[in-house]
Amino acid sequence: MKAAILTIGTEITSGEIVNRNAADLAQKLESVNIETLMHISVPDEKHLILNALNSLEQIADLIIVTGGLGPTSDDFTRYVIADYAGVDLFFDKAVYKELEEKLQNRGRKIREGHKNQCYFPVGAKLLPNPAGHALPFQLNIKNKRLYVLPGPPREIESIWNLALQSELQKLNIKKESYLFKWKCFGKGESEFAEIVEAIFADSGFKIGYRATVPNVIIKVWVPETKMHLKEKYFSEFENQMKNFIVSNDTQ
């Protein structure tokens, strides 16, 4: 299963805030064996959100959308999702009543804008949000799994821990490849690359690098089908690189 993450918010595309959600969610998805192929951020503009969804469906089996589920006029993600799915929205009276009670318990009065948070696309499965008022939801659209989450990172963390992680784990997605990493010191990225590329030239492994001055992280993805070759190539790698390896993550 391949994933894509769509982050909605003019405050993100304008640079006002950093997009933490995409990075955090990609790491969370990796923990349940789902590879993220693309992150897209768009402002609060309906046609751009719809265009992004149409693009992402071409590459991903799972699309996670964050942002735009609040009570204000620029929170219209649910309406765009309904258009994308070709379904109507329905008003959930039970959600409205629960929201009203939550606000009353905090000494607040429910307002007209809060009704916006009680509409959901027909067929949506609602998920809990113990850290906020906007309920996330899930839809199956065009043979894709679509999850729509609120924007605040604290709420996403709560939703993931309470519901989303276990739901995705139940899909029993098999790991296609395994990532191994070494932190190295003493040469530049290009110098290390010459050594590494020669060692793994005919392995069929995928190689990557990340320079984090003064170190270089060397990453090797080994496909499940080639795990029997790991010991051969890793032994050669660690023998040639023994004077430069600071630490490793190869378990």
- All structural domains of the chain, each given as residue ranges with its CATH number in brackets, are 2-169 (3.40.980.10), 177-249 (3.30.70.2860)
Whole-model pTM: value is 0.86
Q: Note the pLDDT of residue 215.
A: 95
Non-local CB neighbours of 2 within 8 Å, separated by 6+ positions? 34, 35, 36, 37, 59, 60, 61, 62
Per-residue pLDDT of the chain (251 residues; tens, 9 = 90+): 899 999 999 999 999 999 999 999 999 999 999 999 999 999 999 999 999 999 999 999 999 999 999 888 888 999 999 999 999 999 999 999 998 888 888 888 888 878 889 999 999 999 999 998 899 999 999 899 999 999 999 999 999 999 999 999 998 788 888 999 999 999 999 999 999 999 999 999 999 999 998 999 999 999 999 999 999 999 999 999 999 999 988 76
Nearest CA-CA partner of 137 in 152, 150, 147, 122: 147
User: Residue 216 burial by CB count (10 A; 0-12/13-18/19+): exposed, middle or buried?
Assistant: buried
Rounded CA gap, 7 and 64, in Å? 8
Q: Output the six-digit token pair for 44.
A: 């609060």
What pLDDT score was predicted for residue 251? 61
d(CA 53, CA 146): 10
Q: What is the maximum alpha-carbon separation in the chain?
A: 68
For residues 218 and 249, give the distance between their C-alpha atoms in angstroms, rounded to a whole number: 10
Q: Give the per-residue pLDDT at 238.
A: 94
Q: Are 27 and 5 in contact (CB under 8 A)?
A: no
pLDDT on residue 48: 97
Interatomic CA distance for residues 58 and 44, integer angstroms: 22
Q: Are 62 and 145 in contact (CB under 8 A)?
A: yes
Burial bucket for residue 55 (CB in 10 Å: 0-12, 13-18, 19+) = middle
Name the strand (E) or helix (H) holding 64.
strand 62-66
Total number of residues shown for the chain: 251
pLDDT of residue 112: 81
Q: Look at phi and psi of residue 90 and say left if phi exceeds 0, alpha if psi is from -120 to 50, else beta.
A: beta
C-alpha–C-alpha distance, residues 2 and 216, integer Å:
28
What are the structure tokens assigned to 151, written together? 């924007």
Other Cβ atoms within 10 Å of 36 Cβ, number: 20
> Which is nearest to 67 in space by CA: 155, 175, 4, 184?
155
